[in-house]
Chains A and B, each alone.
Chain A
């Protein structure tokens, strides 16, 4: 029997809600200048959304623009434009897609021009390239830049020195610049309120992620997961809209669990879960749906992923804390997935394979993301050694369509699924295997 999904995908209320939220934010960006609103560009990992909102500043996220352009098949031309302008073929394609978009008129995903930022808010978390990216943007926009250096958790934890350093930068550098640019005075009680709202959404978000422990999993925690992380990783963390989104989502998933339904895909539901996978690394965006299809056509469901932790590892217990607002923002920035050292990342993967009862680990290694990719082959070996489960490796890119080879990816996935089957046959007693 085929494991491929059946039926048409019907948009759930949570999906419609998120769509409205995104459209609203692009509307805010497109009309920011006429409305007299200030705009900050900032990054997803370690973003300070609650703090930005305290100053009525509209939030623009270059990574998200690059992703949107990747999904709309526009990023290839932007990347080539940036390369024509002297950017190396070796470096991050998010950066080049962003700079290429800027060179081509800076039209947002909705076709309207994105406003020039009034502030480049560089929260430098878990990726060295961010720092250079913002220096490149500063060269173009010549606007004010606020730099928040978030130290790397090299020893596997955030030390007091690190937290103090981040808090001090927030107090002495970031907040004064936000005040100056926006003309709004900082109100810590307003921040507390947003953080309280964040924590509420984070509870539901973690519940959603952990629902994949159910068999069959009601969600795909990678391909579906990238939609679920949308509000909490971007411009909506701390808003009532985000809380409402996660409540809706949670209710929908509760219903799916009761009905023993599999994840929703663009082609309908996965009706037979054949492989439960943990995935490390970001997805490819330029062929996102084709890529996903290679999984659900074979009944492969991702039950946990690390990409859904780049904007915060909430399932290990962290919540934004209104009683310790700045410390809590510091802890958040420090704890993002790629800011954790390799042993901690491997430990997390091992936990996922075990707790989610996965069949194995799949690594999607991204050509232009050294922060994720450097060390992944050691991760693969370690996970196989520690869990006894098979691991596999595929290579794609974020938003450069030149680095997505469907035939290669499909071949590797098929071989991997066969490997899982063999492992199952090899480990089960003959009687059980025959059942």
Chain B
């Protein structure tokens, strides 16, 4: 087995384990340890880490979880991630999770925060709001206060004060982690045949469960191994995948996209891993630093309001240029309001820049990949045949 294969095999095991053995063992290793779950698209993991707890990304149940109880809580026209998350909860798979954070991404996840309070009253759960106003003295101040409230909640949960110094130390660790994540993404954009997206995906998913120090080590090892390994280079088209920032596509969908002739050179699968575009300052007031990074130095996604019409979708065009992509695949979960409402606006921007695109929908448990392969394959071929880019 090659070194990348070994690393990815470990990530695959973590990905497949819907009982979260790693997190359970981490918690059991030291009495009093706590685990705080969070849903997409972003929470300040630094605060959870600084409180001594393990941040655990909950990204639904994937295609291996049979959802029975979860379906009883949702109508057929609501996306899949809340029902599989309920299934994880009701089925006892999250019984070791002490706190849950529900970020401000859409109405479904927002309402799930209240459902969690009722269904799992022993878990400290919180809807985590972020500002849609980007002025330091308005949205920034609101956010600093929200972060303070979160800090207090975590202190109570973990039974210890969450000091500024501890937050600064956590910021430094996450800065390093984000740098490595960005390096992996940049490496894949340069040599996508050496870092297949299915591998990069699993590597990033591991960051949703592993302690940050361990994940950073894994990223470093992968970069080193992938750089040194030779792999066959295909005549694939280079694409950016967008719209998959919450409910995750099945791993097979990513593999099928690649097999059909596309190199995915950028994606928004797990935005939290590289939310801040560059390092968050470590000196000074850590909460203010996190707040300012959110306001002025973070990723763009449809859950965020774009105040400047001229900047709408600019991030996607920039991603295409930066990664030398030849097209964009809009892959959104069925019934995903943020992604599907945003899609026409982004498509208009791409059209204005003469960037080809296709769109399809999926659910985390989609099983039939033939249509995806055909659509992505045709797109890849059409880029090769017709595009002048």
Question: Which residues of A pack against B, CB within 8 Å?
Answer: 85-88, 90-92, 95, 124, 127-129, 131-133, 135-136, 138-139, 142, 145, 147, 149, 151-152, 154-155, 159, 161-162, 164-165, 168-169, 172-173, 341-346, 365, 367-368, 370-371, 373-378, 382, 395
Contact = CB atoms under 8 A, between A and B. Distances in A.
Of all A-B residue pairs in the complex, the 9 with the closest CB atoms, nearest first, are A342-B114, A154-B127, A132-B341, A149-B132, A165-B142, A88-B340, A341-B114, A161-B145, A375-B111
Contacts of B75: 365, 367, 373, 376-377, 395
A377 B345 contact: no
A374 B117 contact: no
Nearest to B105: A128
B112 A374 contact: yes
A376 B347 CA distance: 34
Contacts, number: 167
Interface in B337-356: 337-338, 340-345, 347-348
B284 interface: no
B118 A136 contact: no
Interface extent on B, as a size class? 35 or more
A173 B73 contact: no
11 contacts: A90-B340, A92-B341, A136-B344, A151-B142, A154-B102, A154-B114, A161-B145, A165-B133, A370-B78, A370-B107, A382-B118
B192 interface: no
Nearest to A340: B114
A370 B138 contact: no
Contacts of A124: 132, 305
A342 B138 contact: no
A34 to B, nearest CB: 28
B107 A169 contact: no
B146 interface: yes
A149 B146 CA distance: 14
Contacts of A142: 309
Contact of B129 (A152, A164, A344, A375): A152
B312 to A, nearest CB: 7
A96 B65 CA distance: 34
Contacts of A129: 107, 337, 341
B138 A165 contact: yes
Contacts of B303: 128
Contacts of A135: 305-306, 312, 342, 345
B138 A374 contact: no
Given A132-B302, A370-B78, A147 B132 contact: yes
A377 B74 contact: yes
A305 B35 CA distance: 40
Given A139-B345, A367-B77, A374 B334 contact: no
B104 interface: yes
Contacts of B72: 377
Contacts of B361: 88, 90
A152 B127 contact: yes
B114 A139 contact: no
Q: Is the interface of B mostly helix, strand, loop or mixed?
A: helix
Given A90-B77, A164-B141, A343-B118, 9 more contacts: A131-B305, A132-B337, A139-B345, A139-B348, A147-B133, A161-B149, A164-B142, A342-B115, A373-B77
Interface string B65-76: 000000011110
A172 to B, nearest CB: 6
A271 B169 CA distance: 72
Contacts of B127: 152, 154-155, 341
Nearest to B135: A172
Given A87-B344, A139-B345, A375 B309 contact: no
Nearest to B118: A343
Given A138-B309, A147-B305, A165-B138, A371 B107 contact: yes
Nearest to B332: A88
Contacts of A368: 77
B377 interface: no
Contacts of B108: 370, 374
Nearest to B73: A377
Nearest to B335: A90
A383 to B, nearest CB: 12
A364 B264 CA distance: 43
A128 B307 contact: no
Nearest to A380: B73
Contacts of A162: 142
Interface string B42-55: 00000000000000
A154 B126 contact: yes
A346 B114 CA distance: 10
Nearest to A153: B127
Interface string B94-109: 0000000010111110
A162 B133 CA distance: 13
Given A91-B337, A135-B312, A370-B337, A154 B129 contact: yes
B341 A95 contact: yes
B348 to A, nearest CB: 7
Contacts of B137: 168, 172
B271 to A, nearest CB: 17
A368 B340 CA distance: 13
B343 A128 contact: no
B75 to A, nearest CB: 6
A149 B133 contact: yes
- Among B78, B306, B334, B343, the one with the most A-chain Cβ atoms within 10 Å of its Cβ is B78
B131 interface: yes
B82 interface: yes
B113 interface: yes
A164 B140 CA distance: 12
B259 interface: no
Interface string B120-157: 00000011110111010111011001100100000000
B119 interface: yes
Contacts of A169: 133, 138
A172 B137 CA distance: 10
B179 interface: no
B19 interface: no
Contacts of B129: 151-152, 154
B146 A373 contact: no
B106 A342 contact: no
Nearest to A160: B145
Contacts of A86: 343-344, 347
A145 B344 CA distance: 19
A152 B142 CA distance: 13
A87 B340 CA distance: 8
A358 B190 CA distance: 66
Given A85-B344, A374-B74, A128 B335 contact: no
B132 A136 contact: no
Contacts of B126: 154-155
